[in-house]
Structure 1
Amino acid sequence: MKKWIVVMLPLIGSYANALQLPMHTQSLSYQTNSGAAPEGFYNHDMHINWHKEPDVSNMGFYAQFYFTFQAGTGGYTGLQQDRVDGKKAIFSIWDVGNQKTALPVASNCKRFGHEGTGTSCILPFQWKAGHEYKMRVWRISGNTNGSSEKWGGWAIDYATGEETLIGVIEVNNSSGYSGYGGLTGSTISTVEFYGANTAATNAITCSTMPYFGVTWNGPFSNNASRTPDSVVNKYITSIGTPCQNNVNSVANAPFTATTETGANIHAVVPENTNLWKKYNLQSYREVDCLYNWAEQFMPAAFNQAQFKQRRISRSLFGYYYRDYRNDGAGHALISDTVSNRLFMGKVGGEMEDLGDLKSWKQQSGCRS
């Protein structure tokens, strides 16, 4: 009998630290308060870029963006992959309370009853690692009799502008709002492992779990006219096994954050850090205001209309730029945040110094 106990102890120990799935390895909590109106937002866009193709032999991977409504409930959208259903895009909205308030409109949208109730739309979608996708949530319209509203979810290839409608969900008037009201400024991005109860899956621990890296850009609201104010990282999410020593999140540019999870990843940035605190976000908003002004008064050079999707500003090596160059036409606006100079980037790659950035902000009315 003692011999059997000795043999079994290592086996028990090998599963003692097995991952409890589904598991949110870490999350980023965003607040968008600047420019918020009483009616809320009609749109959120979160840009997602997977760093590499996941190993789905033992579990599924999900990069998820969670949003909330004024009516007090929420929804989520994102990109998934597992070995059973392959790659897909998801858009879901929960019911309000115990009422059946989120209803499917598109044929690929179905009611769900696990982890709450609501409607979920799932669509096969062959996303690619290293490619940027804009996950869009947008209020479409109200019902003709005023009893509900419709919301759509899209996966958009940012490079080509190609749009893929994931689904449409109708939400009944709830909590005194038309539909669910507008979107609030509180959103979350998270990475999730999920999978079947198999021996191989159960043998995975924090120290052996696979790599999962995602770069998040946003969320941008009301067709990218509003930018977020803060993002705070969380390594203990209360969903699944906490592996707080094998995760890390970092921001290398304003309005962008990177999350990484895996056996060889180590927490460098402490939990509950405002990752954008080191940036003067108001200064970047003033630059965005300047770029919007240039689009309005100099559309021949800075033309958003030539693109299927609105161009957003980017950061690279101390430059904050918006690129309007396309098919041999247009220019880029480039702000040097170190020297505080404004440049115009030409099609051939040349840069023309337009002068003092602060003066341009004042001239455009973007800074008093």
Structure 2
Amino acid sequence: MGEISSEVVCPWVWSPSRNKLLGLLVAVCTVFMLSIAPTQAAQHQDANEYALWNFDGANGFWNIDQEVQITQKANHSYWALVWDFRETPGSGGYTGLQTDGTRFNHTTGDTAIFSLWNANASSGSNCGSFDGEGEGRSCRLPYAIDPQVNYRFRVWRLDADASGQWWGAWVRNMKTGVDTLIGRLRVAPNQTLLGVPSNFSEYFGTAVACNKVPQSVAYFTQPAANSLGNDAYQYYSTYASSTRGSCTGGSVKLVDLGWTKAAKVTLGGP
């Protein structure tokens, strides 16, 4: 990965497919950062909030879609959709948006990310590999986050070849209708279905007092799976519960948006 460090691990991670906590699942709250000198300030730990979803027992999807609106941005913060592969609980991936993200070309800023652990190939100039606490591949590109806009995260199973299964991730600006491909990644041949997803909001900046974590607000709508076209899906979800890291304020509340329900995830603040 050149000068880019290994992925940085922060919170505990909920695995809906096994209905229990996985002890510090590596790299799920990832921000790719430049190599950190020993004299630099430590990264903040345990500033995270999770929203968990219920698909009424369904598990194993070739597509997941979800909309998110980040109405209050904060520095060094990340909002993501995360999942395990059904065939490999504890190993999966995530896609999302973050502020102050570091890309493979060493530029920083608002960034869209798609990462899969144990991926063995990638497609696109904005993609590369990571190692350290877990190995895999990631795609990252500049993507401005507008607090007035809803974005749709999409994960979709693509073709398979002799070396594995390809997956793609997109982010769509729901105001303009423009879909942007984040990247394509290939994993093992048996990783053909996604498990039940969850969401997280995280602050990954310099360590601060727990009541000084910068506040952000994001609305995650109920994810749906296996698109049938015309905004219809084979599977829908409802809000289940939430978890919060030990060094942050915040809350998760189910709210009615009129056209659907969403988990309002407030992270940080007193």
TM-score w.r.t. the length of structure 2 is 0.73
In structure 2, the partner of 1:250 is: 253
In structure 2, the partner of 1:234 is: 243
Q: How does 1:304-315 map to 2 (within 5 A)?
A: none
8 Å contact kept, 1:22–1:192: no
How far has the Cα of 1:257 moved from its partner?
0.8
Tell me, yes or no, if structure 1 residue 47 matches structure 2 residue 67: yes
Higher strand share: 2
Deviation by residue 1:224-258 (Cα, 9 ceiling, x = unmatched): 5121144211123xxxx533xx2111112264110
More contact order relative to length (CA 8 Å, sep ≥ 6): 2
Residues 1:24 and 1:45: Cα distance change in structure 2 (over 3 Å) = farther
Name the SS of the counterpart of 1:207 in structure 2: helix
How far has the Cα of 1:83 moved from its partner?
7.7
Out of 182, 186, 191, which is 1:170 matched to?
186
In structure 2, the partner of 1:109 is: 127
Tell me, yes or no, if structure 1 residue 189 matches structure 2 residue 199: yes
How far has the Cα of 1:127 moved from its partner?
2.1
How far has the Cα of 1:106 moved from its partner?
1.9
Out of 86, 91, 94, which is 1:70 matched to?
86
Residues 1:24 and 1:69: Cα distance change in structure 2 (over 3 Å) = farther
Runs of at least 4 residues off by over 6 Å: none
Q: How far apart in 1 are the matches of 2:226 and 2:175?
A: 20
How far has the Cα of 1:24 moved from its partner?
4.0
Q: How far apart in 2 are the matches of 1:44 and 1:141?
A: 16
Identity value in percent: 28
Q: Which runs of 5+ in 1 are unaligned?
A: 1-17, 96-100, 196-200, 265-368
Q: How far apart in 2 are the matches of 1:187 and 1:49?
A: 18
Q: Which amino acid aligns with 1:211?
A: Q
Q: Which amino acid aligns with 1:252?
A: V
Deviation by residue 1:12-51 (Cα, 9 ceiling, x = unmatched): xxxxxx99625442111223236x47xx211011211111
Out of 92, 98, 103, which is 1:80 matched to?
98
Q: How far apart in 1 are the matches of 2:132 and 2:101?
A: 21
Q: Which runs of 5+ in 2 are unaligned?
A: 1-40, 103-107
Q: How does 1:68-217 map to 2 (within 5 A)?
A: 68-72=84-88, 73-82=91-100, 85-95=108-118, 101-143=119-161, 145=162, 147-173=163-189, 177=190, 180-184=191-195, 186-195=196-205, 201-202=206-207, 204-217=208-221
Name the SS of the counterpart of 2:133 in structure 1: coil
8 Å contact kept, 1:213–1:259: yes
Higher helix share: 1
How far has the Cα of 1:124 moved from its partner?
0.7
8 Å contact kept, 1:104–1:170: yes
Q: Which amino acid aligns with 2:211?
A: S
Residues 1:22 and 1:208: Cα distance change in structure 2 (over 3 Å) = closer
Deviation by residue 1:282-315 (Cα, 9 ceiling, x = unmatched): xxxxxxxxxxxxxxxxxxxxxxxxxxxxxxxxxx
Out of 237, 246, 267, which is 1:261 matched to?
267
Q: How far apart in 1 are the matches of 2:247 and 2:181?
A: 34
